[in-house]
Chains A and B, each alone.
Chain A
Amino acid sequence: MTDIRIPAVRTRAAATPPAAAVRRPARERGARLLAALFLAPTVVGIVVFTVGPIIGSVVLSLFHWNVIDSPGFAGTANYREVFTDSTVLVSFRNTLVFMVFAVAAQLLIALSLALTLNGRMPTWLRSVFRSAFFFPLVLSAASISVVMKYLFNQDFGVVNWLLGLVGAAPVPWLTSEHGAMATVIIVYVWQQFGFSFLLFVGGLNNIPKEIHEAAALDGATGLRKHLAITLPLLSPTLLVASVVGIINALQVFEQPYVLTAGGPGDSTRTVVMVIYEKAFEQLRFGEASAVGVLLFVLITAVTALQFRLSRRFVHYQ
Chain B
Amino acid sequence: MSQATLSRKAPLSAGRVRYALGPWGRIAGLTVCALLTLGPVVWTVSTSLRTPADSFDLPPQIIPAHPSTAAYRGVFDQIDVWLLALNSTLVTALIAVGQMITAGLAGYAFARLDFRFKKPLFGLVLATMMVPLQVTIVPVFLVLKSMGLTDTLLGLIIPAFPTAFGTFLMRQYFLGMPKDLGEAAMLDGAGPWRIFRSVYAPLAAPGLAIVGVLAFNYHWNEFFRPLILETSGQNYTLPLGLVSLQGNLGTGSISVVLAGVVLSMIPAVAVFVVGQRPLREGITSAGVNR
* Residues of A near any B CB (own CB < 8 A): 4-5, 8, 27-28, 30-32, 34-39, 41-46, 48-54, 56-57, 60, 113, 116-117, 119-122, 125, 128-144, 146-151, 156, 158, 161, 190, 195, 198-199, 201-203, 206, 219, 221-222, 237, 240-241, 244, 247, 250-251, 253-254, 258, 271-272, 275-276, 279-280, 285, 288-289, 292-293, 295-296, 299-300, 303
27 residue pairs of the A-B complex, CB under 8 angstroms, read: A5-B116, A28-B114, A30-B191, A31-B113, A32-B113, A34-B193, A35-B113, A39-B106, A42-B102, A45-B159, A50-B128, A54-B139, A120-B19, A120-B22, A135-B41, A139-B41, A140-B221, A140-B222, A140-B265, A142-B223, A144-B261, A156-B58, A161-B58, A203-B288, A247-B132, A292-B134, A296-B131
A residues near B232, Cβ cutoff 8 Å: none
CB of B196 within 8 A of chain A? yes
Query: Chain A interface: which of B65-73, B74-82, B204-212, B269-277?
Result: B269-277
A240 and B30 contacting across the interface, CB-CB below 8 Å: no
Given A53-B140, A280-B228, are A122 and B6 also a contact pair (CB < 8 Å)?
yes
The answer, yes or no, to whether B12 is at the interface (CB within 8 Å) is no
Residues on B with C-beta less than 8 A from A195 are 283
Interface assignment of B176: CB less than 8 Å from any CB of chain A? no
What 1/0 mask marks residues of chain B from 148 to 164 whose CB sits below 8 Å from any chain A CB?
Answer: 00000000000101111
Known: A45-B161, A51-B128, A198-B280. A253 touches B43 (CB 8 A): no
User: CB-CB < 8 A to B284: which residues of A?
Assistant: 198-199, 201-202
The size bracket of the interface on B is 35 or more
Identify A241's interface contact among B223, B258, B287, CB under 8 A. Answer: B287
Knowing A38-B108, A56-B142, say if A240 contacts B191 (CB, 8 Å): no
Complex partner residue of B27 from A4, A52, A125, A201, CB under 8 angstroms: A125
> A35–B116 Cα gap in the complex (Å)?
10
- In the complex, whether B40 has a CB less than 8 A from a CB of chain A is yes
Chain A residues in 8 Å Cβ range of B290:
240
Enumerate chain B residues within 8 angstroms of A120, measured Cβ to Cβ.
Answer: 5-6, 19, 22-23
Describe A's contact surface by its main secondary structure: helix
Residues of A close to B1: CB separation below 8 A: 122
Number of A-B residue pairs with CB-CB distance less than 8 Å in the complex they form: 298
Q: In the complex, how many angstroms separate the beta carbon of B257 from the nearest chain A beta carbon?
A: 6
Complexed CA–CA distance, A120 and B223 (Å): 40
B6 touches A54 (CB 8 A): no
If A129-B34, A199-B283, A275-B134 touch, whether A41 touches B106 (CB-CB below 8 Å) is yes
Asked whether any CB of chain A lies closer than 8 Å to the CB of B178, the reply is no
Chain B residues 228 to 259 lying within 8 A of chain A, measured CB to CB, are 228, 238-240, 242-243, 246, 254, 257-258
Q: Which residue of chain A is the closest to B159 with respect to CB atoms?
A: A49
Which residue, of A32, A129, A140, has the highest number of chain B Cβ atoms within 10 A?
A140
User: A139 to B128, Cβ gap below 8 A?
Assistant: no
| Interchain nearest-CB distance for B199 vs A (Å) | 14
Which chain A residues border B37 with CB–CB below 8 Å? Answer: 132-133, 135-136, 190
Chain B contacts of A131 at CB under 8 A? 276
Given A140-B223, A143-B264 in contact, is the A272-B246 Cβ separation under 8 Å? no
Q: How far is the CA of A144 from the CA of B137 in the complex (A)?
A: 24
> Which chain B residue lies CB-closest to A118?
B26
Cβ of A143 to closest chain B Cβ, rounded Å: 5
Inter-chain CA distance A199–B227, complex, in Å, is 30
A24–B108 Cα distance when bound, in Å, is 20
Q: Given contacts A35-B115, A146-B242, are A42 and B162 in contact (CB under 8 A)? A: yes
With contact pairs A34-B109, A132-B37, A146-B261 given, residues A139 and B221 touching in the complex (Cβ less than 8 Å) = yes
